[in-house]
Amino acid sequence: MIAVVRLILLVLFFIGSTIAGILVCLVRPFHRNNVALFSHWYGRVSWILGISVEIRHDAAIAANTPYVFIANHQNNLDLFVMSGSVLPGTVTMGKKSLKYIPFFGQLYWLSGNIMIDRNNKNKALNTMLAAAERITHKNLSVWMFPEGTRSYGRGLLPFKMGAFHIALEANVAMVPVCMSTTHQQVKLNRWNNGKVIIQMMAPITLSPADNLRQFAEKTRQHMAAQIQLLDTELGNDYTASKTPLKE
Range of the domain at 80: 2-242
| 116: in domain | yes
Tens of pLDDT, residue by residue over 137-188, are 999 999 999 999 999 989 999 999 999 999 999 999 999 999 999 988 889 8
| 29: in domain | yes
E strands in 162-214: 174-179, 195-200
Tens of pLDDT, residue by residue over 69-81, are 999 999 999 999 9
Q: What is the pLDDT of residue 238?
A: 57
| 225: in domain | yes
pLDDT tops 70 at residue 244: no
Q: What is the pLDDT of residue 219?
A: 98
**DSSP string across 95-119:** EGGGGGSTTHHHHHHHTTPEEE-TT
| 45: in domain | yes
| 6: in domain | yes
pTM of the model: 0.91
Across the range 187-206, mean pLDDT stands at 95
For residue 120, give the CATH number of its domain.
Answer: 3.40.1130
Across the range 226-234, mean pLDDT stands at 96
Domain count, the chain: 1
| 247: in domain | no
| 65: in domain | yes
Tens of pLDDT, residue by residue over 78-127, are 999 999 999 999 999 988 888 888 888 899 999 999 998 877 878 888 88
With contact defined as beta carbons under 8 Å apart, do 212 and 161 qualify?
A: yes
